A and B are shown apart, each in its own frame.
Chain A
Amino acid sequence: METTIAPSQILCVRGSGKSSTELRFELPVLQRGHLYHVQGRSGTGKSTLLSCIAGMLPFAGTITVFGKTISGNAQSTGTPELYQLSSALLQRHVVDPDLTVRSHATFVNSKRDFDSYLAEFDLLSMNKKKANNMSMGQQQRLGLAVVLAQHRDLIILDEPTAHQDIQYTRSIGSIISRMIHEGKTIVFSSHDRELLQSLDCPVHQFNNVVKPA
């Protein structure tokens, strides 16, 4: 992996072994109270980029968040500064399948807010249900409730409205807008026009991929 790249760019590897692909991304400086929408066609590495910003994947280069420049390390197992700063809803592993809805409260900072999100997502009555016994849409909303109730300053949402109907999509859009007004920073990817139309705040669009290597 190259290490001499521009500071505003990051380089990471998607996959492992012979089928792995190197991806270069150009990132804006992430500021408080802003909403960033990662655009790009399917398969161009949006989820990989969001995983890097969430600190889950190693990368080379730097990411500037709230005025602080965080350097990645391509040989590392992830970036602790980023995953301690953010909470992320990635496409896979949205919930812990072995835990009940109530058990997910272990991971949140505010149980009251968690309950209020569960109520908003019609999950409050499923407290004792295990996540792997729920539908994909319910799991997605549970994952979203956990992420939002963690009260981190940086929130990363990869396709937050996956498996959701219009009503829930609008509800999620309205929650995202509310969080931005509260001063949170959200980086998300979505192809959902309904979600984009329901947002009630400025959206910084950026096309992530510079050049697939």
Chain B
Amino acid sequence: MKLKQIVGLAGRYTASDMGITLVIALATCCFIWALQVATIVSSTSDFVANQRNPGFELVAGANGDPLRLSIHSMYNVLQLRDGLTQSEYYAVKESRGVKHAVPFLSGETVNSFGLLGTSRPEFLAWLSEKYAVDVPRDQVMCVAGAATGMSVGDVHEVNHHHHEAMEHNHSHSHSHCEHDQNIRVSAVLPPTGTWLDYRVICDAEILWHQHYDEWVHMFEESGESAPPMSDDFRVYSWVGVSVANPVLTDRIRQVFDVNSMHLVSTTQELRDIESAVQSVSAFTTYFDWLVALAAVLCTLLLLLLIRKSLVLRLLSLVLRGVGRRASTTVLSFTVMLQVLLGALVFVASFFGLMWITEGADSQWLGSWATIGGIAIAQNTVLVLAAILITSSLFLYLSVRKTSFDEFV
């Protein structure tokens, strides 16, 4: 029997057994979906697990939720409602026992990596002591982490997302701005194994001026004149604190907790977060195999349930002069088509969902096709392999080898 005839027959059986086709296709689709979700969780938890503390014993932020402050300083997510003014920052910096107080202003991204504004002298002094890294003293500092994939001289667009910390200090609140600006990378840090690898750090002055320009622009639109730039604009989101003596950590913390600030000990709060993230990461490592095993077991169960009809079909083919081997191949091709249909349903539902949630953006679709495409292909191949190997073995051992005495 020719391949064309085998595929033709398999196609006709796929179409005629609509119930079984739907069950196998939907089961396949669900298994790939489960793997895809696991992949997203896994890659996210791996990414988060790599965002380790670069060595700050304390993190200072405006009075609010200490857990939110910890998470924000570590992962650059969960925006802070309030910022620290210059006077508050200096209060931290000049406290007894504080060795380095490196301020950061968050809220922007570059190529999806967090962009932090900082005080250049403080940052470079801390970097030099902690990691023995000397950054060229350029006119404008823009240092990219090792994992960002950026190179010196690259120009990237800054995306503004939120200026909540800054907004809080201004009576004239405004909505999010979409006024984008470019930055040029002046240096790339060596790998540190911390969140520094995933950030781009520049002079806070650049960001403050940018925010002020946007603010002025909004005033101009409403026909008003903007007040001159003051220290009210020069706020930080949080401060990384390095202490001279770890014994002093708790004492420094107690001093500030009674004021309008929080000083979070990174060794306490962040330890729990790190451990939770690592647990998720470890679980998702095995989840892929659990899903593949579930796919195998469900396929076996389904094939057992429809074994009688499979044998009848084999008999029908053998009776019509198709050998047992070719008949088994026809049945295998039928399952293959049903499974491929499931994979198609998955791809359509995945991109359909992304399309709905992210909007019909061709650029976005293109980037998903390249970034997410590999993971989708891997998961699809894993599920297809698990189901097809199982079904082929089942058909070969249990159906092809059957005697027809019960059926003739």
Interface set of A (CB-CB < 8 Å, partner B): 13-16, 20, 47-48, 51, 54, 56-58, 76-78, 80, 83-84, 87-88, 90, 92-93, 96, 98-99, 103-104, 106-107, 130, 146, 150, 152
Q: Given A15-B405, A93-B312, A98 and B16 touching (CB < 8 A)?
A: yes
Which of the 9-residue segments B168-176, B248-256, B319-327 touches chain A?
A: B319-327
* Smallest CB separation, B160 vs chain A (Å): 61
Who on chain B is nearest to A89 by CB?
B319
Interface residues on B, range: 20 to 34
Nearest A residue to B312 via CB reads: A93
> Which residues of chain B have C-beta atoms less than 8 A from A16's C-beta?
405-406
User: How far apart are the CA atoms of A57 and B317 in the complex, in Å?
Assistant: 15
In the assembly, what is the distance between CA of A56 and CA of B402, in Å? 11
Identify which of B4-12, B39-47, B300-308, B344-352 touches chain A.
B4-12
Within B7-26, the residues touching A (CB, 8 Å) are 8-9, 12-13, 16-17
CB-CB < 8 A to B321: which residues of A?
A: 83, 87, 107, 150, 152
How many A-B pairs with Cβ below 8 Å? 77
In the complex, per-residue mask of B393-408: 1 if CB is within 8 Å of any chain A CB, else 0? 0000000011111111
Contacts A88-B319, A90-B319, A107-B320; is A77 near B312 (CB within 8 Å)? Answer: no
User: B401 to chain A: which residues have CB within 8 Å?
Assistant: 77
Top 5 A-B pairs ranked by shortest CB distance?
A98-B16, A107-B320, A51-B408, A77-B403, A96-B316
Residues of B within 8 A of A (CB): 5, 8-9, 12-13, 16-17, 312-313, 315-324, 401-408
Pair A93/B407 contact, Cβ less than 8 Å: yes
Interface centre among A77, A90, A104, A106 (most CB of B within 10 A): A106
Cβ contacts under 8 Å, B322 to chain A: 107
Determine how close the nearest CB of chain A comes to the CB of B98; give it in whole angstroms: 80
**Can you name the residue of chain A whose Cβ is closest to the Cβ of B315?**
A93
Chain B residue, CB-CB nearest to A84:
B323
Q: Check if B5 sits within 8 Å of A77, measured CB to CB.
A: no
Residues of B within 8 A of A93 (CB): 312, 315-316, 319, 407-408
Chain B residues near A14 (CB, 8 Å)? 405
Question: For residue A88, which residues in chain B have a CB less than 8 angstroms away from its CB?
Answer: 319
Q: Please, which residues of chain B bring their CB within 8 A of the CB of A15?
A: 405-406
- A172–B265 Cα distance when bound, in Å, is 96
